[in-house]
Chain A
Amino acid sequence: MVSCSSDSGSGGNGGDSGLRGEVLASLGQNVIVPLQERFAARAAALETALVQATPEPGGRDAAQEAWRQAMQPWQELEMMQLGPSGSSLTVMGGQDLRARIYSWPNLNLCLVDQQTVEEGYDDPDALQAVVGGPLGLWAIEYLLFNESAANNCSPLNTINQDGIWDAMADMTPQRRLDYAAALSTLVRRRADDLVAAWAPSGGNYIAELTDPGRSGAVYGTVQEGLNAVSDAMFYLDKETKDMKLGEPLGIINCATATCPESIESQWATRSKQHVVANLRAFQALFLGSSPGTDALGFDDLLIDMGAPDVAADMAQAIADAIAATEAISGTFFEALEQDPTQMEAAHSAIRQITDLLKTDLLSILDLEQPDRAAGDND
């Protein structure tokens, strides 16, 4: 555990070269890894609960609660897509684990329904091999919470045209649970893979944060490592602010007054909790811990650079955004219908954070926006 109270002894502008390294290591050891371990445990609990679930009234309750419990740490990890969980195409050290655990916003619901009909989920390994096949917690949400007996395929699709879907109506609830159970096995495996990828006894990705710049390291310097973390924090801008709030509110990428179909959690209606979890993860990375506990985070770097006002403003903006989101009455669906101003307030509050992130924080710490590192300057 790295102490926050050590005197940086800085000679100016963060002259203590070790502080950035200490922050990076602390974020890995105290924020990211514990969260991954918590998620892995909850993914295992979800698998167990789904195996025991039944279609009878109340038979899915435990599994649904287990899904909610698993989503809580996962939505925090959404903000930490660096290294193995990140995309292999855009993230340094990326191994695409995130896409297999939670594929939002990419999910072909018709394909889920087709697999349900075909019972193509008996063998989880085969299920995983289906190109473009539905995977992860989002597909599980559909299968576990969706009360509709209808499917999402067109009338011309074989399962509708041949009457197969209607013919198996009685079996659909059980098949959906079986399918969800198979998917939860894959999620649990990927969660274990994620933990192993970071564990010193496994892929040891934690060393990329505790010892960057060593021979063969993914991050050549501490600054590159910090940049990877700040890149991940941009999830708050595009995904949380624009996609989870802006699109449903109809203020971005929406042709009508509102776009409820863009709400993230369509069946479990947990979008508000997801956004709060995103914000709490951002807060944990910024402060190095939850509020009220002492650890090294980006706020310490800002203070060390002589910008305590920016650190204070950012901390306050995060707290305000969490409060504004929690203040939304009911679900996002209900809020959109009854009082969108609450969601708009949350959107504005999050924009305060992303404005600070993109301007003051990046400038003062000399960080780059995601995907910006390539190319020359002068």
Chain B
Amino acid sequence: MLATLRDRLLEPRDAASLAVFRFLFGTILCLSSIRFLWNGWVERFYVRPTFFFQYWGFEWVRVLPEPWMTVLYVAMAVLAAFVAVGFLYRISIVALFLIFTYVELIDVTNYLNHYYLVSLLAFLMCFLPLGRAYSVDARIWPSRAGSTVPAWMLYLMRFQIGVVYFYAGIAKLQPDWLLHAQPLGIWLAARTETPLIGPLLTLPAVPHIMSWAGFLNDTLVVPFLLWRKTRPYAFATVFVFHFCTHLLFVIGVFPFLMVSGATLFFDADWPRMLLHRIRGLAPAPNRAEASVGFGEPAKPQQEEGRWSTGVAILIAAYCVVQVVMPLRAYLYPGDVLWHEQGMRYSWRVMVREKNGSIGYRVRWRDADREVRVSPSQYLTSHQEREMSGQPDLILQLARRIAADFEERGYEDVEVRVDALVSLNGRRAAPMIDPDANLAQETDTLAVMRWIAPSPYGAPLPAYPQHDDSSSRAATTRRAAR
């Protein structure tokens, strides 16, 4: 059985679909880097902050001074363009992976699920020979050219995309999303001016319909993409779904990335077949006659030499990590959207609307008073907003404040926090035990006992039962007198 599996994994597959993905991935990252520079986000996210939140295990990562951060983004744009056209592919993708991952590791408040996905895909692409077909490299160095890749490479990329969809779907399997249509209800109410679909968002059932549609899309789209008969419809659904998310939300390149990823589920030779159809060539060429470039003869590769037990173990280990990593959130009691332990790297995409008001209180030995420290003294508003819903970041800043006071000569510094947080429209509640001295706490994988239990009760109703709104407004005003 293992031998059969091995043979299946080593079967040659047309490299065309991976080459198209390489082109799309590189183009998206190139444009994304240019957009980052154009919007002045290098200055906003890397130059303006004076304090950076560190990733667990990556505390050693430090931001570079200007102009080096700008240089890195320019380099990313260039390298991504190289990846897109397949020029010096290996060097380009490795450098792109390292630089992209480095800039993302500088500050946790910049974490986005799709940035994490970019890092993972770039990491995988470092090991895949995606420059061998439809590339400048293949033109310049024909000896490196090839028309096929072993099947496992395609499967691995599909797996990575599939993991994102599957866990994004599982993350929606919770009452707020499915029963109360939140936070979509809140978000859609503020987006009724959206071109094309805005007027639809005023319909009462829309938040629930879209919540369920999102859940079903994420959980079922991968099997439907894998099944040939349903694939075109599934891809069309993916396209429409991500087009809508692009219209409604500011989620950067995520929709483009996922639509590009979905193309990997088509037959490996789909680009070639499509080209032949466009060119009006009939019949379509035999799939074995794949070519390294448009119209060039096929040159199937012998892939067995690249395979070893070690490679198989590494791939299996990677897949296990990807499957297990998002599940770790279930090891922690309570609502992960509240305590956020295990939240990162678990593909909980767009499932929470969280806003907090954070204020630190500092005491020290022999102090006759308690001093308040506002997060704004350390953070940009972007950082403060991101921190306000994430307990581990609140802890990091508390420890920094304690260190600063100790540096100024105060002894036995204690830092406590008033952290009121609203989740999915629920009334704000304390997220951190106000009596916990965070200066004494450390960020570990253990359950953080100083995080207060999540608030009970349903979130904001998606369908408030309207009576006379003016009379209720009048009630409010009477209360104000």
Contacts and interface: CB of A to CB of B under 8 A. Distances in A.
A251 interface: yes
B319 to A, nearest CB: 23
Contacts of B465: 306
A310 interface: yes
A166 to B, nearest CB: 40
Interface in A306-334: 306-312, 315-316, 318-319
B251 interface: yes
B44 A376 contact: no
Contact of A12 (B207, B420, B476): B207
A371 B480 contact: no
B113 interface: yes
Interface in A196-244: 213, 221-223, 238, 242
B161 to A, nearest CB: 15
B475 A308 contact: yes
A370 B381 contact: yes
Contact of A378 (B113, B189, B355): B113
B39 interface: yes
A47 B299 CA distance: 88
Contact of A287 (B193, B357, B477): B477
Interface stretch (B57-65, B67-75, B136-144, B456-464): B456-464
A251 B367 CA distance: 13
Contacts of A287: 476-477, 480
Interface in A1-56: 4-17, 20
Nearest to A369: B385
Contacts of A268: none
Interface in B192-206: 192-193, 198-199, 201-204
A306 B466 CA distance: 8
A303 B469 contact: yes
A8 B468 CA distance: 9
Interface size class of B (residues with CB under 8 A): 35 or more
A242 B204 contact: no
B271 to A, nearest CB: 28
Nearest to A250: B369
B187 A213 contact: no
A359 B422 contact: yes
Given A11-B204, A369-B384, A223 B473 contact: no
Interface in A239-264: 242, 246, 250-253, 257
Among B356, B357, B468, the one with the most A-chain Cβ atoms within 10 Å of its Cβ is: B357
Interface string A293-315: 01000011001111111111001
Given A5-B470, A360-B422, A360-B428, A292 B207 contact: no
A12 B204 contact: yes
B476 A315 contact: yes
Contacts of A291: 477, 480-481
Nearest to A8: B469
A4 B192 CA distance: 20
Nearest to A301: B189
A378 B111 CA distance: 9
B329 to A, nearest CB: 17
B442 to A, nearest CB: 27
A100 interface: no
Contacts of B230: none
A12 B203 CA distance: 8
B372 A315 contact: no
B427 A360 contact: yes
A327 B199 CA distance: 49
A300 B480 CA distance: 14
Contact of A299 (B198, B371, B473): B473
17 contacts: A11-B463, A221-B193, A250-B371, A251-B370, A292-B481, A294-B473, A305-B460, A306-B465, A308-B475, A315-B476, A318-B480, A355-B357, A363-B460, A366-B189, A367-B190, A374-B39, A376-B112
3 tightest Cβ-Cβ pairs between the two chains A and B: A306-B464, A376-B252, A17-B192
